[in-house]
Amino acid sequence: MDAGLAAVLGATVGALGTAVTGATAAFLSRSTARHQVRTETLRALREARRATYTNYAKTIDHYLDKLDTTLILLERVERFPEQRDQWVENAHRRWNEALRYRQTEVDTQRVLLQLDATPQVSEAALQVAKWCVLLSRSTGRAIADLKGHDLDTGPLSPPSVGYTQLLVAEGFDPEKPDLERLLSRGRDAYRAFLSMAAADLGESGVLA
């Protein structure tokens, strides 16, 4: 082979090798950068969901505690009949506090949850909301029965059809549902939400 031709071919092969090596390095660099961006995006999304799930769970836990206290006060109506009116009023006040808390804090966190949550977690939260509403309405009706009139104004009105149907479908007496059992079902739904949220985040717990 002519020495000049060999030199040209050698230079060409060398240039091609350098170009290929440079292209490969650039490709790997871009691939690594994309992977890092994706990893950071997923991490940020996961952290945002974790915060949303945790805030919702904390508000629900606090709300159920408020209703639990209301049920304790209602129990004392029967245990201390001589102080009946006092315990009824205390239960009514506590129920009102729980209702306001649900209409503000809980509902706010529920809306934020719907924006961030996966469908499975949203469904679990919907079940929590169902039991919270049933427990709240049933507790309110129990207080109204003791007062002899609705908690706002006027005579005691019959329960709504939707409320009655939900209670019957879940195996409750619509006239006088077991409040403690309703509270238990609410806490079961709350724990199911925690489990689903933890599974979505790939964690052993949401409130850890």
> Which contiguous run of DSSP H or E holds residue 58?
helix 3-79
Q: Is residue 8 part of a domain?
A: no
Q: Is residue 91 part of a domain?
A: yes
- For residue 155, the cross-strand partners are 149
Most confident of 9-18, 25-34, 128-137: 128-137
Q: Is residue 37 part of a domain?
A: no
Say if residues 190 and 60 touch (Cβ distance below 8 Å).
yes
Query: DSSP string covering 86-150, please?
Result: HHHHHHHHHHHHHHHHIIIIIHHHHHHHHHH--HHHHHHHHHHHHHHHHHHHHHHHHHHHHHTB-
pLDDT, tens digit (0-9, with 9 covering 90-100), for 121-162: 999 999 999 999 999 999 999 999 999 998 887 788 888 999
CA atoms within 13 A on the CB side of 62: 16
Tally of domains within the chain: 1
Q: Is residue 34 part of a domain?
A: no
pTM: 0.77
Say if residues 144 and 156 touch (Cβ distance below 8 Å).
yes
Report the distance separating Cα 6 and Cα 112, nearest Å: 71
Specify the pLDDT at position 29.
Answer: 65
Q: Is residue 10 part of a domain?
A: no
Q: Is residue 188 part of a domain?
A: yes
